[in-house]
Structure formats: structure tokens, C-alpha cells
């Protein structure tokens, strides 16, 4: 089984914000590959959709507490670091850049930090999606990540979500090493 976890904040207010590209990617992947509708699991505090060997998860805690949900699901689903993928925004990457990494620290991302602390290891696969503005400067990251994409930015991010979805499918079929070679360019 492979668990693909999109990080984000629940609620309509945050739906199209930079912090929610993890949710947006998981939603796009689910639609593209005809996954069943997401169902709320109150026990695990998440939205979940399963098809075959792939489970899609959107934690319903806020971003900074994502680790509590991930820990619960790992403990019940027999997941290993090689079968757990976390998708999240990254203000250190240019807008639209996809970077796939494994065994890396959080680099200050509070959601990733929560996951690493909760599961007790950084050995997880991450699909980092760049949300950095064109000028590369972010004065207040906490405010910046909960803002919506601008009109020009949303076109770029939508293409990146499609690319990330393709990379996820490629990963399911071919594994991490081939996926990193194919998509980390």
C-alpha cells in the first residue's frame, strides 16, 4: 500500500492558498485517476479515498498539526517510509518547481516538522511544490502561505499540480529512484 498525504488547511477560507497545494494535488490526482469521493474519518481526523493499493489522505487538522493525523494512519495502515509520500508547499523553491526528496529535515516548514516529530523520523518521501514569488522575497512567511495565488500564478501552479500528479502515478509504477531521475530536473 502507498499513502499519498497532501498537506493543507481545512475549510473554504484556505481552499486556494499556497499552503494548500498538497490538498490541491491530491484532489487533482483523485479526479484524474477516478478515485472514489473522499470520506471523512472522524477517528483519524482526515479525509480519505482509496483505490487499489493507493490511499489518498488530507489531514483535517491545521497544517502545523498534520503530524498527529499522519502518526495515527501510519500506526494502523502498516506503512513504511518507502510507502508514505507527503506533498506540500515550499517557499524556498521558485513558483512551479517540483522537487522530490527523501530523508531531509523540515527546512522550517511547520507541517513537515509536525509530521517528522510525530512519527519520530525524517525518513519519508516528500514532493515539494515551489510557491515562492517571482522576486524570491517573502517578508512574512506565515501570512504569505495563506494567501491565494494571483491570476498569473494560478496558471503556473495548475501546470505544476498536473506534473506532480503525473510524477505520483510514475512513482506508483516505477518507485522512488526512477521518479526522482525523471522529475527532479
Residue for grid cell 491565494: 148
Catalytic residue among 18, 19, 97, 128: 19
CA-based nearest residue to 29, from 71, 59, 66, 58: 58
Active site residue 88: no
Give the catalytic positions in this structure: 19
Amino acid at each position: 500500500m502507498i499513502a499519498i498525504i497532501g498537506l493543507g488547511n481545512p475549510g473554504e477560507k484556505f481552499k486556494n492558498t499556497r499552503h494548500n497545494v498538497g490538498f490541491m494535488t491530491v484532489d487533482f490526482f483523485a479526479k484524474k485517476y477516478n478515485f472514489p469521493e473522499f470520506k471523512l474519518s472522524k477517528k483519524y481526523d482526515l479525509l480519505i479515498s482509496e483505490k487499489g493499493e493507493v490511499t489518498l489522505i488530507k489531514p483535517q487538522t491545521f497544517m502545523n498539526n498534520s503530524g498527529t493525523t499522519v502518526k495515527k494512519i501510519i500506526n494502523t495502515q502498516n506503512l513504511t517510509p518507502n510507502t508514505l509520500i507527503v506533498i506540500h508547499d515550499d517557499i524556498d523553491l521558485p513558483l512551479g518547481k517540483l522537487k522530490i526528496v527523501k530523508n531531509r529535515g523540515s527546512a522550517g516548514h511547520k507541517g513537515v516538522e509536525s509530521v517528522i516529530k510525530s512519527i519520530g523520523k525524517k525518513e519519508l518521501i516528500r514532493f515539494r511544490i515551489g510557491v515562492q514569488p517571482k522576486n524570491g522575497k517573502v517578508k512574512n512567511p506565515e501570512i504569505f502561505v495563506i494567501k491565494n495565488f494571483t491570476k498569473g500564478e494560478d496558471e503556473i501552479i495548475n501546470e505544476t499540480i498536473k506534473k506532480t500528479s503525473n510524477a505520483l502515478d510514475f512513482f506508483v509504477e516505477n518507485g522512488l529512484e526512477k521518479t526522482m531521475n525523471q522529475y527532479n530536473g
